[in-house]
Chain A
Amino acid sequence: MTQPEPHLLLRAAPFLRRGLTTPGLMTEVILALVPVILAAVYFFGVSALLVLTATTLGAVATEWLLSPVRPRGVALRDGSAILTGLILGLCLPPGLALWMAFLGGVVAIGLGKLAFGGLGQNLFNPALVGRAFLQAAFPTALTTWVPEGTITEVLSVRSGTFAAPFMQSSVDAVSTATPLGVMKFENVATPVADLLLGNSAGSLGETCGVVIIVCGVFMAWRRLFDWRIPVAILASVAAFSAVVWVFDPQASPSPAFMLGSGGLLFGAVYMATDPVTSPIAPRGVWIFGIGVGALVVLIRLWGGLPEGVMYAILLMNAATPLIDRISQPRGFGRGRAAA
């Protein structure tokens, strides 16, 4: 009887893997973005798609260009550049000039991720770095909001989309204010129903609260992110704004308005949950989420800007290494529970 002589593979235990992969997880998150993208197209027409394409192209091109030369494609395989591009696009105004959107994608990946050493090394959420850059570089364009439309206007391109680089485009056409802007400068609250259903102006992905909540629940169920992060952020925003509201219901917005308006839902579900830039241990995650919520309320109510989600998340990103340091798991048989 002859026996096969196998060429044995020598690898250390464990020999089994769960079968989850990083590209697989990224793909699922991107799938969970599709409804939000569809909602953006519904409300802001084909311009939304153009902006998203521009940011994604900028992100992917930068990743390809600046990644290690050997096999260039490798860095792209994890799918994170596409995800960053899409998320950046979804937090930009619908009528933004495409070249600006493209530049945002370049900065998000180049400065936000690769400058730190690539995926897993970055301190700040790359998409938010891109957005912060655009906000600093083109403050007017980033605060010019076109009104939401309906399905009949899907094919009309919003003004400004095709503006040539560095030319002063005449943004004379219809422009409007976001619910937070109206609140801040005119003290008029948009009805919460409109906020949830998307009947308001704002960035591409942030206006339709219902879609974001549904996608968030899906992602939490698939365990694509730590559910504690959005829960902590939303709960702390509700709590902090409720305190202010109870004392001064006339001048301050209601907690429901705070929760539904601006980029809070989108930020809490898609941006603060980036695992790389948020704490790893549950205790740290709660601190992180509560911190984001507190900063959002602080900036929105007393800051100079109507919206504060972006800076709140970026600031807590910066605090994450510190939070990680103080929120390590305790170790089995150590601390209070040790027998």
Chain B
Amino acid sequence: MSSGLFKLSFRHGIHPDEHKDQTAHRPFERMPFADRLILPLRQHTGAPCEPVVGVGAEVRRGQVLATPGGFVSTTLHSPVTGRVTALAARRHPNGQMVPSMEIDTDAYSSQRLPPASSIDWRALTLDGFIEEVQRAGLVGLGGAAFPTHVKYKLPDGRRCERLVVNGCECEPYLTSDHRTMVERPEAVVRGAEIVATMLGAKETVIGVELNKLDAIETLRRVVGEGPTRVIGLNVKYPQGAEKMLIKSIFDLEVPAGKLPIDVGIVVNNVASMAAVADYFDRGQPLIERGVTVAGPGVDRPSNLIVPVGTSVRDVLRHCGLNHETRQVIMGGPMMGMPLASLDVPILKGTSGILAFTDEVVDHTAEYACLKCGRCLEACSNLLNPARLARLARAGRWNELEMNYVMDCMECGACTYACPSGVPVVHLIRAAKTSIRKRKAKGE
């Protein structure tokens, strides 16, 4: 209630059914090591990594397999002790064949991480810290998989005043961030403390939606009287979008085309914070992550700690895949990726695997757009999706840009809200791709 009084929210947005009860109370279990892992060299936004071990190499769990191919790139570690069996094109969840490393797990290994000492981060400079984070292979665990260290490289003249830790998890079905906050609040707060100290942020705010009261309570207990605040936010999609979260917490609009750092804010996901703590305290790089496996097509909905590279087929076999499954989604149901094959790996950015049966699969027929305005009321980016969709159909690129089509973050709220079943966000997505291509070719 209190947050209602202070209007901690952003304009527009939608309220889809949450469907989180299936897994919200299920503690993380460890997924057994699979026999074979596939590790695409590009699991993050940016340049692919460059392999430093060859086919046939024996690798230990946590050993570096590939180093960053640029600044906007990160390190890849082996999630298991085993042997590199191939360095070749393998199927990526997005459908493309991409250069990947294949590792066969050593069935006789204890799979214990080699002991590593904690890193004295307080002795590091900011640049040294950034290097370490890149060495840890960290990417944003919320779904976009943007290399974490890039966010810490402050542009000239910018300072980080505030660190926002994103615990919204506004996508329906997903509960892995929720479980991380409940089960590992110390790690979340510790990671936030490390990052805030290194960036020189004066204030740290952990934003959690009010449908996760236990997480808020646990975090508040850990934070205590410290400088970090835990704030409950009214539940609304897409609150987990950086700019919406900033608007909700600080009532501040990040200007279009700018980044949060331009208003002195860095936003990180809660699981990413826990991963930072794991690396600096225990020396564990990003080799596994929390994944919610849910949906009516799954017999035993679970939250799993899955080694990166485990195939979706293995994960679904572990949780029991139902015969009625018609659709498998990687990520959340609003912005996730549809899978054409189960033989694709869990990536660093995979927050969930959802199996949908016919009763949930969307069968909406398409009717003509009535200009009813429901998409407008759904669009938290304050655009006119109906107009953009119409212009996109007609291929009127200039007008699309004049109507700020490039501001669209493709959250899908417009399509969700449309009674006519118009694939609004799909049209916008296609138009943005076309515009980018034309730009790259022409001007």
Contacts and interface: CB of A to CB of B under 8 A. Distances in A.
Interface residues of B, number: 78
Contacts of B243: 332-333
A78 B370 CA distance: 11
A15 B327 contact: yes
A275 B335 contact: no
Interface of B is mostly: loop
B419 interface: yes
A338 B412 CA distance: 23
A156 interface: no
Contacts of A17: 362, 364, 415-416, 418, 421
Nearest to B337: A13
Contact of A331 (B361, B368, B381): B381
A145 B384 CA distance: 45
A337 interface: yes
Interface in B10-25: 14, 16-17
B164 interface: no
A309 B357 CA distance: 51
Nearest to B373: A280
A151 B247 CA distance: 59
B379 A329 contact: yes
Contacts of A119: 367-368, 370
A167 interface: no
A119 B366 CA distance: 12
A232 B193 CA distance: 53
B373 A275 contact: yes
A15 B329 contact: yes
Given A11-B362, A276-B371, A331 B383 contact: yes
A73 interface: no
A141 B341 CA distance: 68
B334 A275 contact: no
Contact of A14 (B255, B316, B333, B386): B333
A63 to B, nearest CB: 13
A324 B267 CA distance: 36
Contact of B380 (A15, A226, A332, A338): A332
Nearest to A331: B404
Interface in B389-431: 403-404, 407, 412-413, 415-421, 423, 425-426, 429
Interface stretch (B79-87, B146-154, B318-326): B318-326
A4 B421 contact: no
Contacts of B370: 22, 119-120, 275-276
Given A331-B383, A333-B256, A8 B334 contact: no
A3 B370 CA distance: 44
Interface string B109-121: 0000000000000
Contacts of B372: 25, 275, 280
Given A18-B14, A22-B370, A280-B386, A8 B419 contact: no
A280 B376 CA distance: 8
Nearest to A225: B372
A337 B263 CA distance: 14
Given A3-B317, A21-B419, A329-B382, A14 B425 contact: yes
B440 interface: no
Contact of A337 (B17, B253, B340, B418): B253
A14 B17 CA distance: 13
A69 interface: no
A8 B343 CA distance: 12
Nearest to B425: A14
A165 interface: no
Contacts of A9: 326-327, 338, 361
A79 B364 CA distance: 16
Contacts of A3: 313, 316-317, 321
25 contacts: A6-B326, A6-B328, A9-B326, A9-B361, A10-B340, A13-B333, A13-B337, A14-B333, A15-B361, A18-B16, A18-B416, A22-B368, A22-B370, A22-B419, A22-B420, A78-B367, A119-B370, A275-B373, A281-B384, A332-B380, A333-B243, A333-B407, A334-B407, A338-B255, A339-B263
Interface of A: 1, 3-18, 20-25, 78, 118-121, 226, 275-276, 278, 280-281, 324, 328-334, 337-339
Interface of B: 14, 16-17, 172, 243, 247, 252-258, 263, 297, 313, 316-317, 321-323, 325-329, 331, 333-342, 354-356, 360-362, 364-365, 367-374, 376, 379-384, 386-387, 403-404, 407, 412-413, 415-421, 423, 425-426, 429
